[in-house]
Amino acid sequence: MSMNIFFLGFFFFVTPSFCRVPQLERASTPPRGWNSYDSFCWTISEEEFLQSAEIISNRLKPHGYEYVVVDYLWYRSKVEGSYVDAEGFDVIDEWGRPIPDPGRWPSSIGGKGFSEVAKKVHSMGLKFGIHVMRGISLQAFNANTPILDTAKGSAYEESGRQWRAKDIGLKERACAWMSHGFMSVNTNVEAGRAFLRSLYLQYAEWGVDFVKNDCVFGDDLDVAEISFVSEVLRNLDRPILYSLSPGTSVTPAMAKEVSGLVNMYRITGDDWDTWKDVVSHFDVTRDFSASKMIGAKGLLGRSWPDLDMLPLGWLTDPGSNEGPHRACNLTPNEQRTQMTLWAIAKSPLMFGGDVRKLDDTTYNLITNPTLLEINSFSSNNMEFSYITGRKRSRCKNKLVSQHLTEGGMLDKQALGLTTCKDPKANGWSIKALDQDLEQICWNEKLRSKFAETPCLYKGKRLLASGEENIYMQQYQGTLHLLASDGMELCLDASPRRRLTSKEYGGGSFSPCKWDANQIWKWNANGSLTNSYSGLCATMNSLKADAGSGGIRSWIATGRKGEIYLAFFNLGTEKTVVSANVADFGKVLPQKNLMGASCKYHEIWSGKLGETKKVLSIELEMHSPALFVLLCH
Ligand SMILES: *[C@@H]1O[C@H](CO)[C@@H](O)[C@H](O)[C@H]1NC(C)=O
């Protein structure tokens, strides 16, 4: 898939007539840079941002880190009472568009937005990125601001009237993880499209090079907004990379709907500096590589599954009102595991630590030349399953053999969400218990070793209050799904948490209300569509319970014919991990690996050697090995 990268360094394409200029292929390698979230949460100021950019320009730019991105809420006033889901603290212009908080971004005063900051960032040889939320803010909706018609430079009018925020905001589709912040806009009406256009044209005028569009993907999927924003960006003269977030419950099938419209998209929830978060990336990343999504076609270039920022070095806490104040909680081996996986899975590398306090260990890790070479230029990247692990038995201190196989992995099922185009979602059927009690159950044939057949109860209609009546129309033919008969607890597709089989027994249900997250529609083909995200419910098999142990391996080819082989010990016991040279040829396109002799260099231990048969290394708990092999 990514072999083409080397031959298509310059890639010409057809763009609409007004900008027929040949451009470089966008995101031809995984984008690399720095994002303010892990170290500043939302609190960063212009001074702190520019200071950081200066350091990035001097120390990280030579290693390809070129994007500097301001993460969320740059438009929120940093005053008493303001926080991440506060309401009414945002600075908006007369058209309801967020503009930088002048208290934190003084150069924005006088209607300049981010243009001064972008200019300075560009003068440092870097590119400037911003985080934006879905649709329109609740604050603009409440103020019922007019909408800017960018073609006319005046208020948008149609059918003899001025359209306003309340005509386009979809209040029932508020961002599920920031419900007092933003809501989707109705892209079926021209006024809704005019509003989105007015946002992105302004970002382009400011000199923005990268947009991270949040609360539009994963459980928050909004294909309509993604498609329209992509179209606006495609028609701009200025190349702006398009990045999607968050990545809760993302499957390759879901990503295929939008990957061609964007340049990167998250495939997991937020990653922080816990071992559990690092481990949670292994399965999903394997699935995306197996689906050939790494470096697939994207917006005017390529697209990359994004494993999220690297929370290494000096950090803050999620959702906090504080800047950087603590060290990363991962051990050095765990940090190497993270960097090795992110590199060999070709994830965008967005460093998240405070660069003003960048320690040497972190610096050397994120600028490791082998990892960066692999990240940009390797191909055939995939999980490699022909490995063996031997660990020391606790009681006898003797080596016992343990083979890693797919079949040996734990098989559990959990309720999850996927795109409705995925046939794996068509497993729900209606079972009548008596005249007015019906269940919706998961297909027996599709379930594996789930303890009980998962069944949900169809809810009876709730009485809607006056205000809620407005939304009743669109809920025709829809239903609530109850945990059990008589209990007013409804299945909630809230992206705040990932549903697991344990939670399915109780935790994913919340008191029934007219919240789009809780409204479902059963379709004749056996799928269950959620009204909030348009995603469908499915029972996913949770394969390896990697958190409790296990070994993993990834393989890739280098641009000079070298082979990269990574081993990971995700368990807590010292393990000897081995692979046979003869097995490389089972997955790589290289011929004649049978009988080849491989010279190798393991980059973390510095170990050098040569083998015709077995490659083996003892790994401490939570640590990786990374071999660079030349085989002849
Ligand atoms: C099942 O039906 C729904 C609603 O008509 C549709 O959106 C979905 O694409 C269908 N799924 C499949 C896999 O055909």
Q: How far is the CA of 525 from the centre of ligand 1 (A)?
A: 6
Closest by CA to 301, choosing from 67, 28, 29, 66, is 28
Same domain, 451 and 509: yes
Which protein residue's CA is at the shortest distance from atom 6 of ligand 1? 420
Which protein residue's CA is at the shortest distance from atom 11 of ligand 1? 421
Same domain, 449 and 343: no
List the strands of the sheet with 575-580, edge to edge: 399-403, 387-392, 575-580, 614-619
Compute the mean pLDDT over every residue in the chain, rounded to the nearest whole number. Answer: 86
Q: Which residue has the higher pLDDT, 84 or 228?
A: 228
Same domain, 272 and 356: yes
Same domain, 168 and 239: yes
Q: Say if 4 falls within a structural domain.
A: no
What secondary structure letter does DSSP report for 451? S
Predicted confidence at residue 499, as pLDDT, reads: 36
For a pocket test of ligand 1, which of 221, 223, 419, 420 has the largest count of ligand atoms closer than 8 A to its C-beta?
420
pLDDT band at 15 (very low <50, low <70, confident <90, very high): very low
| pLDDT exceeds cutoff 90 at 609 | yes
User: CB 524: neighbour CB atoms within 10 A?
Assistant: 6
| pLDDT exceeds cutoff 70 at 336 | yes
Same domain, 526 and 556: no
| pLDDT exceeds cutoff 70 at 409 | no
Q: d(Cα 563, Cα 568) in Å, to the nearest integer?
A: 17
pLDDT band at 452 (very low <50, low <70, confident <90, very high): low
Which protein residue's CA is at the shortest distance from atom 7 of ligand 1? 420
Q: Region 549-567: what's the mean pLDDT?
A: 93
Same domain, 217 and 325: yes
pLDDT band at 469 (very low <50, low <70, confident <90, very high): low
Q: Say if 435 falls within a structural domain.
A: yes
Which protein residue's CA is at the shortest distance from atom 9 of ligand 1? 421
- Out of 486, 521, 545, a domain closes at 545
Ligand 1 atom with least separation from CA of 527: 1
Same domain, 106 and 149: yes
Angle between helices 332-344 and 369-377 (to 10 degrees): 30
User: CB 436: neighbour CB atoms within 10 A?
Assistant: 8
Same domain, 322 and 453: no
Q: How far is the CA of 509 from the centre of ligand 1 (A)?
A: 25
What secondary structure letter does DSSP report for 219? G
Residues 6+ apart with CB under 8 A from 125: 57, 61, 66
For a pocket test of ligand 1, which of 254, 421, 446 has the largest count of ligand atoms closer than 8 A to its C-beta?
421
Q: How far is the CA of 417 from the centre of ligand 1 (A)?
A: 14
- 129 and 70 Cβ atoms separated by less than 8 Å: yes
Show the domain range for 432.
Answer: 409-545
Predicted confidence at residue 406, as pLDDT, reads: 33
Number of alpha carbons in the 13 Å side-chain half-sphere of residue 558 = 16
Q: How far is the CA of 418 from the centre of ligand 1 (A)?
A: 12
Q: How far is the CA of 420 from the centre of ligand 1 (A)?
A: 6
Same domain, 402 and 413: no
Which protein residue's CA is at the shortest distance from atom 1 of ligand 1? 525
Predicted confidence at residue 533, as pLDDT, reads: 78
- 530 and 220 Cβ atoms separated by less than 8 Å: no
Q: Say if 1 falls within a structural domain.
A: no
Q: d(Cα 442, Cα 541) in Å, to the nearest integer?
A: 13
Q: How far is the CA of 529 from the centre of ligand 1 (A)?
A: 9
Task: State both tokens at 555.
Answer: 């393989």
Q: Region 112-136: what's the mean pLDDT?
A: 98
Amino acid at 174: A
Which spans in 367-423 are helix H?
369-377
Q: How far is the CA of 535 from the centre of ligand 1 (A)?
A: 11
User: CB 605: neighbour CB atoms within 10 A?
Assistant: 12
Ligand 1 atom with least separation from CA of 422: 13
Strand partners, 229: none
Q: How far is the CA of 536 from the centre of ligand 1 (A)?
A: 9
Count of domains observed in the chain? 3
Predicted confidence at residue 182, as pLDDT, reads: 96
Enclosing H/E stretch for 297: strand 296-298
Task: State both tokens at 461.
Answer: 């209609």
Q: d(Cα 329, Cα 318) in Å, to the nearest integer?
A: 13
**Stretch among 146-155, 362-371, 439-448 having the lowest mean pLDDT:** 439-448
Predicted confidence at residue 561, as pLDDT, reads: 92
Q: Which residue has the higher pLDDT, 246 or 460?
A: 246
Q: How far is the CA of 247 from the centre of ligand 1 (A)?
A: 22
- 118 and 128 Cβ atoms separated by less than 8 Å: yes
For the CA atoms of 289, 293, 295, 300, the dihedral, rounded to the nearest 10 degrees, stands at: -170
Which protein residue's CA is at the shortest distance from atom 3 of ligand 1? 523
Q: Could you tell me the end-to-end alpha-carbon distance of the chain, in angstroms, rounded to an integer?
A: 24
Predicted confidence at residue 622, as pLDDT, reads: 96
Q: How far is the CA of 587 from the centre of ligand 1 (A)?
A: 35
Task: Write the DSSP string, 475-523.
Answer: GTT-B-EESSTT--EEE---TTS---HHHHTTTTEEE--S-GGG-EEE-
Q: Region 186-202: what's the mean pLDDT?
A: 98
Q: How far is the CA of 256 from the centre of ligand 1 (A)?
A: 16
Task: State both tokens at 415.
Answer: 């309720």
Same domain, 599 and 520: no
Q: Say if 230 falls within a structural domain.
A: yes
C-alpha distances out from residue 462 to 270, 467, 468, 534, Å: 35, 14, 11, 21
Ligand 1 atom with least separation from CA of 525: 1
Query: Is the Cα torsion angle 536, 539, 544, 546 positive or negative in sign?
Result: positive
Angle (CA) 355 66 307, round 5° = 80
pLDDT band at 468 (very low <50, low <70, confident <90, very high): low
- 602 and 550 Cβ atoms separated by less than 8 Å: no
Match 């949900």 to its residue by tokens: 456
- Out of 517, 545, 573, a domain closes at 545
Task: State both tokens at 585.
Answer: 């040829």
Render pLDDT for 570-599 as a digit per residue (tens, 0 to 9). Answer: 998 899 999 999 999 989 987 678 788 999
Ligand 1 atom with least separation from CA of 524: 2
Same domain, 299 and 283: yes
The CATH number of the domain holding residue 98 is 3.20.20.70
SS3 sequence of 410-424:
CCEEEEEEECCCCHH
Predicted confidence at residue 396, as pLDDT, reads: 37
Predicted confidence at residue 423, as pLDDT, reads: 86
Task: State both tokens at 608.
Answer: 């050098």
For a pocket test of ligand 1, which of 523, 530, 531, 535 has the largest count of ligand atoms closer than 8 A to its C-beta?
523
The CATH number of the domain holding residue 600 is 2.60.40.1180
**Stretch among 115-129, 325-339, 589-603 having the lowest mean pLDDT:** 589-603
- Out of 377, 394, 419, a domain closes at 377
Q: Say if 2 falls within a structural domain.
A: no
- 441 and 428 Cβ atoms separated by less than 8 Å: yes
Radius of gyration of the chain (CA): 25
Q: d(Cα 135, Cα 144) in Å, to the nearest integer?
A: 14
Q: d(Cα 604, Cα 336) in Å, to the nearest integer?
A: 9
Residues framing ligand 1 (Cβ under 6 A): 420-421, 423, 426, 523, 525, 527
Same domain, 69 and 139: yes
Task: Write the DSSP string, 27-73.
Answer: TSS--EEEESHHHHTT---HHHHHHHHHHIIIIIGGGT--EEEE-S-
- 137 and 98 Cβ atoms separated by less than 8 Å: yes
**Pairing relationship of beta strands 67-70 and 32-35 according to DSSP bridges:** parallel
The CATH number of the domain holding residue 524 is 2.80.10
C-alpha distances out from residue 558 to 63, 259, 323, 344, Å: 18, 25, 39, 11
Backbone region of residue 27 per phi and psi (left: phi > 0; alpha: psi in -120 to 50; beta: other values): left
